[in-house]
Amino acid sequence: MIIGMRELTAICKSGEHKTVALQLEAPVESEGAWRCWYEIRWPEDEWPAQLTRSFAYGVDSLSAIQMGLMKLGAELHFSSYHKEGKLYWTEGQIGCGVILPRDARDLLRGEDARYLG
């Protein structure tokens, strides 16, 4: 079951603005822990569109959600789109609005640094 979705925008090499779709699923109990799946649907941009699908574990359902969001945020912030300043949530602003682990917060830019740093 999907519990959260967001659409970001990537500025592609062609200059087109294309959607990057994020999705977070409800945690499920697995092997004595909780697993939270997430997806990032990257647009076609001089290579085929790509799907990143992964998960994070937590000791309970809430920590699995927190870990899933932080891992999703890390994937976004380590992407070439973010590094080149070509990924945003709101037109005219910089940032994705997704939390990061404390050790990666130096990657935050714009409104993300202001509100999540």
Cβ–Cβ under 8 Å, residues 10 and 18: yes
pLDDT number for residue 86: 92
Q: What is the pLDDT of residues 64-74, one digit of tens each?
A: 999 999 999 99
Q: Which DSSP state fits 47?
A: S
Q: Does the pLDDT at position 58 exceed 90?
A: yes
Q: What is the pLDDT of residues 83-109, one digit of tens each?
A: 999 999 998 887 888 888 777 777 777
Which residues, other chains included, contact 36 with Cβ-Cβ below 8 Å and sequence gap of 6+?
24, 25, 26, 27, 55, 56, 57, 58, 61, 64, 65, 67, 68
Q: Does the pLDDT at position 116 exceed 70?
A: no
What percentage of the chain has pLDDT greater than the value 90? 68
Strand pairing class (87-88; 33-42): unpaired
The mean pLDDT value of the chain amounts to: 91
Distance (Å) of CA 42 to CA 45, 47, 58, 89, 106: 9, 10, 26, 14, 23
- Which pTM does this prediction carry? 0.87
Kind and range of the H or E run holding 19: strand 17-25
Cβ–Cβ under 8 Å, residues 116 and 100: yes
Q: Copy the structure tokens of residue 22.
A: 């994020």
